Amino acid sequence: MKATQIIPVLRIFDYQKTIEFYVDWLGFEVVWEHYFEKNTPVYMEVKKENMVFHLSEHHGDGTPGTRVMVFGEGIPAYHKELIDKKYKYNRPGLEKTFYGTVSFTVNDPFGNTITFNEEFDEEKHKDLEFSSIH
C-alpha cells in the first residue's frame, strides 16, 4: 500500500475563531465548506501549499487536543512570518528538538496543536536563535 495523501480531521467549535487562526494567522485558504442544511455544523477543508486539514464542528469528528506533526522545508521563514503578524494568542518559540529538527508548535483555539518541523542542518541553521523553553 502506498498512501497518496493523509488528511487529519481536527475538531473546531467556532467558525470565526477558526478563520482568524487558520486563515488570517496561519495563512491557509478555505477550499470548501459543507453544511447539511442551514444552521448546522460546518465541515471544511483548508489548505496551505500541500498541507491539507479538514476542520469539523460535528460531534464525533476528531477529538479536541489532537496533535499534528508537519515536516517540510522553510520552517524558520514561516515561523518569522507568523511572529511578525503579532497574533494575540500565539507567539511560538523556535526550537531545536531532541529528534533533530528545527521546530515550532502552535495551539489552535480548540486545544489542537500543530508542530512544524524541518530537518536540522548545522550549516543552514547556524544563525538561528532558539527558544530555551521546553
Position 59 in a domain: yes
Give the Å distances, CA to CA, from 35 to 13, 44, 52, 126: 14, 9, 19, 48
Position 105 in a domain: yes
pLDDT score recorded for residue 131 = 85
Tell me how long the chain is: 134
Report the CATH number at residue 114: 3.10.180.10
Position 1 in a domain: no
pLDDT score recorded for residue 7 = 95
Residue 31 domain boundaries? 9-119
How many other CB atoms sit within 10 Å of the CB of residue 22? 24
Position 92 in a domain: yes
pTM, two decimals, is 0.93
Question: Could you list the pLDDT tens digit for every one of the 134 residues in the chain?
Answer: 999 999 999 999 999 999 999 999 999 999 999 999 999 999 999 999 999 999 999 988 988 899 999 999 999 999 999 999 999 999 999 999 999 999 999 999 999 999 999 999 999 999 999 986 54
pLDDT score recorded for residue 133 = 56
Position 131 in a domain: no
Position 2 in a domain: no
